[in-house]
Amino acid sequence: MSVVRNTLDIINPDEGDGATARQGSINFYGFSNGEDDISDVFAGTAADISDPHVLAQILVDHEGTSADDKGEIYIKVNDGDDGQSPSKTALQVHSNAAVTFSNDILNSATGAVQMAVGTTAQRAAVQGAIRYNTTTSQFEGYSGSAWAGLGGLIDVDQDTKITAEASAGSDEDVLTATAGGTTTFTSNSTLLFSNQSLTAKTSTGALLTLQTSDTDIADGDVLGGIKFQAPNEGTGTDAIALAGSIVCIAETDFSASENKTEMVFKTAASGAEDVTNVTMHSNAAVTFAGTVIESSARELKENIEPLSGSLDKIMAMQGVTFNWKDENRKTLGKDIGMIADEVSEIFPELVSYEKGKPSGIKYSKMVSLLVEGMKEQQTQIEDLKAEIKALKN
């Protein structure tokens, strides 16, 4: 046994700046049953002085490859099959004083994963402790004088689900993220991004799902939505608590065979709640609460030419009655309109196309055609009136 006063110096005489340069270590040896023991070593009768196995090691190494004196410490243990070279690093202390733990931090009494800061009194004052309870499969915080589930902690369940507790001692979840990549917000939870944008990227297209937890959906129930809020101005004179929203609402009482919905778009005026502007119904009908306005300023257009031959084109068109094949729109009953395929042969500018085929009609654009057609018809009427007057005279 060596006794050293104050300081024990371990020096590696080799020079170098590599990751394994200038190493120094302290090894802790032990003997197995039936092998030479330490008495044989001191007596000089041991068959093999290297026979003792290294059970653990404290290794000091140079950190990095630069020509500096950064050091790091490894505490290594033998897993039972390592012989003279313990392979398992339990703890690593870096040159910046950061500490890396390679495995769980266990409470020796309870076996719970635990990381505590300070004494019992300090933990009670600052709540500076957290541990994972293997019995309840959840994280616990130190509260007063005991460990307990605390609000805001994250529980990692055995089914790889992550849940955040809604309040102290409560089992009510506010967020659940499953192994399949689905994240669920419940219990009226609010997701707030402060001065940040939310961006979702996937290889197949990002999808945001909003789902109600209600299992008995009645007509008018909100299934999900997005709200847009604005803070009050400093004077408080223009308070818009809810600036607008997009809401999906049940259009009927839900059943196993019926679940019609409508999408509602709302906006708000100063100091007032949001009001419905547009409603998209389950039968594909759209209701506008106000006036539909289309951009039409001269400065937005070029190659402007007056319409001609409008009356002939109007006379060539045919209005029809029909029923929709689509199941949702069958509820509309008998409908009226025109056939896009026929209109495209007369006035292709009035028709929209999908994959090169006529798919819809721009009915609002027909106003211009009707105006010019009426003018042409009025011209014919004036000419006829002049002829009749001439014949009378």
Per-residue pLDDT of 214-273, as tens digits, reads 889 999 999 989 888 776 666 655 556 677 889 999 999 999 888 999 999 998 876 566
One domain for residues 306 and 379: yes
Where is the domain boundary, 101, 127, 144? Answer: 101
Please choose, from the candidates 149, 140, 78, the residue with its C-alpha nearest in 3D space to the C-alpha of residue 107: 140
Where is the domain boundary, 157, 185, 213? Answer: 185
Alpha-carbon span 275 to 15, nearest angstrom: 78
How confident is the model at residue 310, as a pLDDT? 94
- Mean pLDDT, to the nearest integer, of 310-333? 90
Contact 202, 208 (CB under 8 A): no
Classify residue 293: in a domain, yes or no.
no
Classify residue 132: in a domain, yes or no.
yes
Q: Which long-range contacts (CB under 8 A, 24 or more apart) does 66-73 make?
A: 66/17, 67/17, 68/17, 70/95, 71/95
43-59 core/surface letters (b: 16 or more CB in 10 A; e: else): eeebeeeebbbbebbeb
A 10 A CB-CB count for 126 gives 11
The pLDDT confidence band at residue 58, using thresholds 50, 70 and 90, is very high
Classify residue 6: in a domain, yes or no.
no
One domain for residues 279 and 318: no
Position with higher pLDDT, 320 vs 185 = 320
- Mean pLDDT, to the nearest integer, of 341-349? 95
Task: Give the torsion sign (CA, 298, 301, 306, 310).
Answer: negative
Q: Helix (H, G, I), strand (E, B), or coil: what is residue 329?
A: helix
Q: Is the pLDDT of residue 275 over 70?
A: yes
Classify residue 2: in a domain, yes or no.
no
The pLDDT confidence band at residue 190, using thresholds 50, 70 and 90, is low
One domain for residues 87 and 120: no
Put the strands of the sheet holding 53-62 in their side by side order.
24-30, 53-62, 71-77, 88-93, 99-101
One domain for residues 79 and 45: yes
Q: Kindly state the tokens that stand for 372.
A: 């010019």
How confident is the model at residue 1, as a pLDDT? 47
Classify residue 9: in a domain, yes or no.
no
Q: Helix (H, G, I), strand (E, B), or coil: what is residue 122?
A: helix
Q: Is the pLDDT of residue 8 over 90?
A: no
Return phi, psi of residue 133, to 5°: -90, 115
One domain for residues 306 and 339: yes
One domain for residues 124 and 97: no
Place of tokens 């594909």: 284
- Mean pLDDT, to the nearest integer, of 283-288? 89
One domain for residues 122 and 177: yes
Position with higher pLDDT, 29 vs 120 = 29
The pLDDT confidence band at residue 126, using thresholds 50, 70 and 90, is very low
Q: Is the pLDDT of residue 142 over 80?
A: no
One domain for residues 80 and 142: no
Say which range, 36-45, 112-121, 272-281, has the weakest mean pLDDT: 112-121
Please choose, from the candidates 253, 256, 251, the residue with its C-alpha nearest in 3D space to the C-alpha of residue 282: 251
Alpha-carbon span 370 to 350, nearest angstrom: 12
- Mean pLDDT, to the nearest integer, of 204-211? 79
- Mean pLDDT, to the nearest integer, of 118-127? 46
Classify residue 197: in a domain, yes or no.
no
Out of 126-130, 178-182, 268-272, give the one with best mean pLDDT.
268-272
Residue numbers of the domain that contains 62 = 24-101
Where is the domain boundary, 77, 101, 125? Answer: 101
One domain for residues 308 and 277: no
One domain for residues 43 and 89: yes
* Domains identified in the chain, total number: 4
Classify residue 196: in a domain, yes or no.
no
Q: Kindly state the tokens that stand for 260.
A: 């019609």
**Contacts for 276 with CB less than 8 Å, ≥ 6 apart:** 264, 265, 266, 289
CA angle 268, 270, 272 (to 5 degrees): 60
Classify residue 210: in a domain, yes or no.
no
